Amino acid sequence: MDVKTEDFRFFREDLCDRCGDCFVACPYLELPREEARREIASLIESGTSRALDVCNTCHTCDVVCPNDADPYELVLEHWWERRQEGLPTTARLVTPSEPCNIWSSLKALMPPEELALLRSWDDFSPCEEICLTGFYTNVVPYILQSQVLAGLPKIAGSEALYGCAGDIYKTGRFDMVEQITRRLEHVFGEMGVKRVICSMSAEGMVLSEILPRRFGADFAFEVVQLDDWLLEKVRSGEIALEKGLGMKVTIHDNCLSKMQDGRLQEVNREIVERTGCSIVEMEHHGDRSMCCGFGAAASHFRVMDIMSSGYRRLKEIEATGADAAVIYCPACLFILSVIKEMANCAIPFYHPVELVEMAAGGHPAHRHEERAWDIMAVISNHLLKYALFPSHRKRFQPAYIPPEIVQLPELPPADRLRLKALAALFHSPVVQNRPVRALTSLGFKAAVAAYDLARKNRLGLSV
Ligand code: SF4
Ligand code: SF4
């Protein structure tokens, strides 16, 4: 299909009065008013702005814009122009049609019971009501094994579905989002789905807001968020909470939770309070919440941008003095778990399902730390290939996504071997001992500090 740039114009220049509110509020620019006005004018008129370098796809500017002009989409439009020539090699990790992606790599490291779980979800046979696992729930599938979710309908969803295009929308590859929209219409249409409970609220927002509004999605099903489903079961007493957990927790809000007036942020706060926890908020929360680090990759696909942005968020978590952090987006949960392990931070992270399970007297699998080291093996394998093979440094053009689900390529045997060796090392006492963890943490923090300073000086920013 021949797609033209002008097919995707989402920013409403006609509504923009260049007030600058967007870039005053942007937590990654935080510009004074006059500078913010000049910056948005420059982005509109000449396509140049520091926002194109630092945008973490946090969605704040869209939420604060008084005229609903959607300035974040202007950033995406410029990335879309840039990305038609191909994606940087790091994007292979989140592209299911590339043989060595995060899902194929993790499957080489997961225990047999998790692999069996994923296989059981790879089922798109007709069904009127499903729980959709989502792209990144499949990175931490053990969360959905919880006893408190026993009343869920059939769980379905694999990376073959390409998620709901939420992360691909963030990269600006609108042509791929369009293809995924047609696939979702086709697959869910064939299944005869009438109700979808989304295990990942960000995907629920994409299904109910972004795809219908911007890509003409014609879905014949109702979208329900797992967060709403869980709260209803707790409120009704169908899930009986036996004990108050008595922890002081902080809550990380994901970028798309800012949509629909932040309704889901309140839902998750009520779930947390009903488990007997008190809430202490981070400096940036609610409609000003910062990215977990995942969205920081969208501008240049640099691993250091993820580390830097994620560590900034982790420091906000630590500054609250909370006993634990609650992270309701599975993607944020795994990225922040990696950052936490790199920084050797002792604060435990929980998904709301795990908190509810604990308050109901159960014991969640809670493998976030372990999974974080698996993901570090996946990232290390990618960096190793980048260093060793010039062919792996090249940009690539993702394969066309047809409406029907197609077989994905297998993980190459050489990657499987390297991944297993790296994971064995990372999980071994050679790495998992106090001096090595302390040294790793020091090195990580020093690298982030040097990177942040260089970027601040280069871009002339105060943050
Ligand atoms: S996009 Fe919205 S917030 Fe930004 S300058 Fe235009 S009207 Fe103001
Ligand atoms: S989406 Fe967030 S990071 Fe990007 S420009 Fe808007 S406010 Fe800034």
Q: What is the DSSP string of 344-371?
A: T----EE-HHHHHHHHTT------HHHH
Alpha helices in 248-351 (DSSP H): 263-274, 297-300, 303-319, 330-342
Per-residue pLDDT of the chain (463 residues; tens, 9 = 90+): 555 556 789 999 999 999 999 999 999 999 999 999 999 999 999 999 999 999 999 999 999 999 999 999 999 999 999 898 899 999 999 999 999 999 999 999 999 999 999 999 999 999 999 999 978 999 999 999 999 999 999 999 989 888 889 899 999 999 999 999 999 999 999 999 999 999 999 999 999 999 999 999 999 999 999 999 999 999 999 999 998 999 999 999 999 999 999 999 999 999 999 999 999 999 999 999 999 999 999 998 999 999 999 999 999 999 999 999 999 999 999 999 999 999 999 999 999 999 999 999 999 999 999 999 999 999 999 999 999 999 989 999 999 999 999 999 999 999 999 999 999 999 999 999 999 999 999 999 999 999 999 999 999 887 7
Round to the nearest angstrom and report the end-to-end CA distance of the chain: 42
**Which helix (DSSP H) or strand (DSSP E) does residue 251 occupy?**
strand 248-252
Site to probe by mutation for ligand 1, drawn from 11, 14, 23, 40 as the one with most ligand atoms within 8 Å of Cβ, is: 40
Does ligand 2 come within 6 angstroms of the Cβ of 49? no
Closest to 224 (Cα-Cα) out of 127, 153, 292, 147: 153
Atom of ligand 2 nearest to the CA of 75: 5
Nearest to 332 by CA among 268, 392, 396: 268
What residues does 195 pair with on adjacent strands?
129, 222
Other C-beta atoms lying within 10 Å of the C-beta of residue 454:
11
Q: Which mutation among 11, 19, 72 tests ligand 1's pocket best, with the greatest number of atoms within 8 A of CB?
A: 19
- Of the CA atoms within 13 Å of residue 261, those in its CB half-sphere come to 0
Indicate which residue's Cα is closest to atom 1 of ligand 1. Answer: 71
Query: Closest Cα to residue 296, out of 83, 53, 11?
Result: 53
DSSP state of 144: G
Distance 290 CA to ligand 1 centre (A): 20
Q: Which of 11, 16, 24, 26 to mutate to test the pocket of ligand 2 (most atoms within 8 A of CB)?
A: 26
CA distance 300 to 224: 33
Unique residue bearing structure tokens 């169908």: 238
Phi and psi torsions of 212, nearest 5°: -65, -40
- Ligand 1 within 6 A of CB of 22: yes
Cβ of 67 closer than 6 Å to ligand 1, yes or no, is yes
Strand 278-279's sheet: what is its strand order?
Answer: 278-279, 248-252, 324-327, 349-350
How far is residue 42's CA from residue 56's CA, in Å, rounded to a whole number?
19
CA 287 to chain centre: 17
Residue 87 is classified by DSSP as B
